[in-house]
Structure 1
Amino acid sequence: MFLVVNAFLMLIAAYGNLVLLTLTTIMEVIVVCFLLSTLGRLPYQLEVAMLSLFAIICLYGTLASLLNCIFSKKLLPLGPALIKNNKKKEAAPTTPCPVASSRGTSGLLKIAKLLENGVCGIPTDTVYALAASCKNPSAIEKIYNIKDRPAEKPICICISSVEQLVAAKPPFSPLLWEFMRNVYPGGISCIVPKGDWLFKLGVGPAYDRVGTKESIMIRVPDHTVTAHLCDITGPLAITSANPSGEPDSTHHDMVIDRLGHKIQGVLCDGESNEVVASTVVNCLKINEGTITILREGCVPAAKVRQIFERVKNSML
């Protein structure tokens, strides 16, 4: 009975590793030795040798498994499986465009490379967006075709931080600067006066393809992945990643399913932080003491006005 059970264990061990197979094999020999010992036909030296070998392999297997587990490396080899499992692994689902994970730098670099010549879906602090490099006006044109977006609707730009904006030295009033410092980064988009300062920001080649003739909408998402991506690529022209008139995309799978066949890649970040887009604030008349909420999004209009009033009163 013991011989049959151990033979079965040997078969299982053959799918494991060489150390485990050797151990079960010696166990089988030891069982045979015990049977011969009862018949008085086993040399004492062979029995001692088998038990010693069994103890050594047990010690080695235990030590190797422990070290390999602790350090997540194969510090001590356990040997290959004698019998290979030839069962085919399920093929990974194919996607209509390249995808990359936001969890690694390699993913960001992959999408940054694709953005040099095309359009990609990216996560933000609100919903997913379609992005194109401001160094590539033709890619921005593609966004309009991909979304079936009306030509009269301007596209905003996304940057990594207020400091990036400060470096471009736009001639904003102290009130506008203070307001932006209080709402950025976050789910608010500010419409500000357009000007040559955009060239210093890195928008040069796409100057005529973003915003309107007089104004530009700026996003500074409160999202580490998006900020790092903008640091790599420079300013990005962005708009929500959905066909015009349809609900926003709140997961990278939605972007892939709806627009994957039209874009060059998707940066996958799972569920979005919000289910609606950013709140759009017109700041063109901020020096006159007023702002206008053009679209109420993830940040309530009442909260935006509360922030503005607090900032305005602090500067009196």
Structure 2
Amino acid sequence: MISDQPELALDRIECAARTLGAGGLVAFPTETVYGLGADAENVGAVERVFAVKGRPTTHPLIVHLGGAHQLAEWAADVPDTAHLIAERFWPGPLTLVLRRADRVPRAVTGGLDTVALRVPNHPVALETLTAFGGGVAAPSANRFGEVSPTTARHVREGLGADVDYVLDGGPCSVGVESTIVDLTGEPAILRPGGVSREDLEHVLGRAVSVRAKSAVRVPGQFPSHYAPRARVLLVEPDRVLDNAELLVGRGRRVGVLLPPEFAGDAASCSARHVIAVPDSAAQYAQRLYEFLHDFDRHECEVIVASLPSPEGIGSAIADRLGRAAGPRDQASRDSDRFNGR
């Protein structure tokens, strides 16, 4: 059953919880992106998540909880650091990687002895998790490697009838996935996201490393990820317009993510679709995936963009754009190669 009603009635929460309890898949809103949820202890339901997404079964899922009080039920040997971080950032866009408790199926963890846990900061998600009572394993509600959904419409367009129930909670407020922090050793960020490195360091009172590679597999580590159908070309900010015009001259259908400092030049750009990036990094993050979806709707072949400053949530934006621009296959790389790339 697919829900198309925007109202957040209690019966819709209960319907979502019942669907999860029956082994079904529920797309639900969080503050970051929409998740494709299944009962984390139902191996058959979890395996269906992987099948619907087309996701490698070795790629772990995040287990969503209704509150920090459930942490010890899902993780073993929880360090004080985990409680400190959870107290400050949960509910919120931060995921903790810890040793898994026995109740966590290896189907959820990709065969690893670690589990990724978070408490989302969205009233609909929290009500659903409370009504369900258990953990919900959920990646983003889209096909693997594609742009994450930040509205219920994105979910329906991407997954269609493969989802048993879509719970519409409006657009996501953060817009990029959670920060993932490995706490199985010294704290380290494995994926930048909605909580900045600076905020995490402030709470911990120490420097926190960011690992490009880790023995602990977590979501979002593939070189090509979060990718629209259009190719993404990253150049220096002052080269965005020149590269866009070069591609237009070659007959390409071009989209442009125009840096804020060049917003005044948008009207003079002959690209098919031009989006001026918001001045606020938080607003940019919130709308980044909306922008990428929009370029696909305009049937752009290539998107010309630049990376923002990596401070704060800008680090997450840069990570997502970098992976959206990652290599897909040799043929497409060759077809998109030109001066300035």
What is the Cα deviation at residue 184 of structure 1? 1.4
Q: Which runs of 5+ in 2 are unaligned?
A: 209-341
Which of the numbers 34, 49, 59 marks the counterpart of 1:153? 59
1:125 aligns with 2:31: yes
Provide, for residues 168-207 of structure 1, a one-character-per-residue CA deviation record: whole Å limited to 9, x for no partner: 78432223322222221110011011123xx3xxx5xxx2
Which of the numbers 131, 149, 153 marks the counterpart of 1:232? 131
Equivalent residue pairs, number? 205
What is the Cα deviation at residue 97 of structure 1? 2.7
Which of the numbers 266, 271, 292 marks the counterpart of 2:188? 292
The alignment partner of 2:11 has SS state of helix
Provide, for residues 121-148 of structure 1, a one-character-per-residue CA deviation record: whole Å limited to 9, x for no partner: 1001211010001242111111111111
The alignment partner of 1:179 has SS state of helix
The alignment partner of 1:143 has SS state of helix
The alignment partner of 2:116 has SS state of strand
The answer (yes or no) to whether the contact 2:25–2:38 under 8 Å persists in 1 is yes
What is the Cα deviation at residue 302 of structure 1? 2.4
Change (3 A) 1:284 1:105: same
The alignment partner of 2:166 has SS state of strand
Change (3 A) 1:146 1:168: closer
For residue 106 of structure 2, what is the aligned residue in structure 1? 208
For residue 105 of structure 1, what is the aligned residue in structure 2? 10
Taking only aligned residues, the RMSD between alpha carbons, in angstroms, comes to 2.2
The residue type paired with residue 26 of structure 2 is C
1:178 aligns with 2:84: yes
CA distance in 1: counterparts of 2:126 and 2:148, whole angstroms: 21
Which of the numbers 148, 151, 156 marks the counterpart of 1:248? 148
CA distance in 1: counterparts of 2:192 and 2:122, whole angstroms: 20
CA distance in 2: counterparts of 1:189 and 1:102, whole angstroms: 29
Q: Which runs of 5+ in 1 are unaligned?
A: 1-95
The answer (yes or no) to whether the contact 2:74–2:100 under 8 Å persists in 1 is no
Change (3 A) 1:272 1:162: same
The residue type paired with residue 125 of structure 1 is E
The alignment partner of 2:26 has SS state of strand
The answer (yes or no) to whether the contact 1:99–1:265 under 8 Å persists in 2 is no
CA distance in 2: counterparts of 1:104 and 1:97, whole angstroms: 15
The answer (yes or no) to whether the contact 1:188–1:219 under 8 Å persists in 2 is yes
Task: Please list, as runs of the form range in 1=range in 2, the aligned pairs for 1:158-169 lying within 5 A after superposition.
Answer: 158-166=64-72
For residue 100 of structure 2, what is the aligned residue in structure 1? 194
The answer (yes or no) to whether the contact 1:134–1:237 under 8 Å persists in 2 is yes
What is the Cα deviation at residue 165 of structure 1? 2.3
The residue type paired with residue 24 of structure 2 is G
Which of the numbers 138, 150, 158 marks the counterpart of 1:258? 158
The alignment partner of 1:163 has SS state of helix
What is the Cα deviation at residue 218 of structure 1? 0.1
What is the Cα deviation at residue 267 of structure 1? 0.1
The residue type paired with residue 135 of structure 2 is P
CA distance in 1: counterparts of 2:179 and 2:79, whole angstroms: 22
What is the Cα deviation at residue 307 of structure 1? 2.1
For residue 11 of structure 1, what is the aligned residue in structure 2? none
Structure showing greater radius of gyration is 1
For residue 223 of structure 1, what is the aligned residue in structure 2? 122
Provide, for residues 234-266 of structure 1, a one-character-per-residue CA deviation record: whole Å limited to 9, x for no partner: 110111111111111010011011102211110
What is the Cα deviation at residue 108 of structure 1? 0.4
The alignment partner of 1:268 has SS state of coil
The alignment partner of 1:130 has SS state of strand
Change (3 A) 1:255 1:169: closer
CA distance in 2: counterparts of 1:126 and 1:135, whole angstroms: 23
Change (3 A) 1:311 1:221: farther
What is the Cα deviation at residue 100 of structure 1? 5.1
The residue type paired with residue 130 of structure 2 is D
- Identical counterparts, % of pairs: 26
Change (3 A) 1:176 1:97: closer
For residue 15 of structure 1, what is the aligned residue in structure 2? none
Which of the numbers 171, 185, 197 marks the counterpart of 1:301? 197
The answer (yes or no) to whether the contact 1:102–1:267 under 8 Å persists in 2 is no
Change (3 A) 1:167 1:263: closer
CA distance in 2: counterparts of 1:168 and 1:254, whole angstroms: 31
The alignment partner of 1:280 has SS state of strand
